[in-house]
Structure 1
Amino acid sequence: MDAGECRARAGDGTPNAARNETPYEQADRNFAELLQELRVTQTGVQILFAFLLTLAFTERFPDLDAYQRGTYLTTLLLAVLAAALFTAPAALHRTLFGRGAKRLIVDVSSRLAAYGLAVLALALAGAVTLVVDVVLGRAAGALTGGLALLTCAGLWAVLPWALRRGAGVP
């Protein structure tokens, strides 16, 4: 869909007359709202990434076993991937700016943000798994990492899905 095909829609799929905005204004607003969401998630990823980077330079890092090192490296790479997914919309916008592709930018950026949240959930679960594994042991680490992942999935995916269904929002 190009920007010329963009149609302002309300939550129920009908034209969005309540906001009295053109399709281009809606695309601009949607992108601004998405960028605001990404600012929050990007900060979280940056903090997680910084934490993970410092771990490799601590005194206890050489004591990690193979499982813990694997968890560490996997989590570090997931944090990098999440950061890339969350910053990609800015690069996409910069590359396509002024070419009448705002709706496309919004649609692709929204998908990138959703993928970024999924990867961030895995990275958070990995970080929790690693820390709890070091402090309390393997079983506790696996359990709390799994609970962290379920919590993220519940709050970031299941809750919005349930609210959409309950409110009749497509």
Structure 2
Amino acid sequence: MNVKQLLRCICASTLLAAHVAGAEDAPAAASPPADTVFISKSAPFLDEGLIAKNIIEECGLPESQIKLLREKAEKSGVSLSENEAAVAGMTGKVLALETTNAISSGNAFVGHRKQVAVRGKLFDNGAEIGNFLAIRNSMGGIGAGFIGSCAVLYRCQGAIAEDILKWLKNPIKDARLGDQ
């Protein structure tokens, strides 16, 4: 072996040893806390045929329900994690949500009627441990004539998110949440 080959071998060995040592010192990827509840990226419509076309096209309710739930979870101390693989495999605690209904009728002159209904099931490694139906209604509130329909529906979803987070702290079967 000549000097050049020997130096290459020493350099390669040194780099490999440094890499292995660095890998041992590197922290492991953080795993979610044991009480984390896995959710999907949306709460899809159970049947789009039941929902007005303008709501489907303009409001994005399936995604906004999850967004509001995640935002409020941080403040309520509930650990949620979007994880499609865990949801599909029913691995760990999984909250499956679907939007069963959304109504947006009325106007500033005759009054508004808005409603969102969400059904959820909580699973622990595939076994159902609780379920609910959550419904929230709104007539728009003060200044409703100046608030868009989607914004009022989002308010309903925000209230539903708070209801779900309270329920997750003590899940039961056949719970009725919200305005019912």
Structure 1 and Structure 2 fold alike (TM over 0.5): no
Q: TM-score per shorter chain, which class?
A: under 0.3
Greater strand content: 2
- Structure with bigger gyration radius: 2
- Calculate the TM-score normalised by the size of structure 2: 0.26
More helix by share: 1
Higher relative contact order (CA 8 A, sep 6+): 1
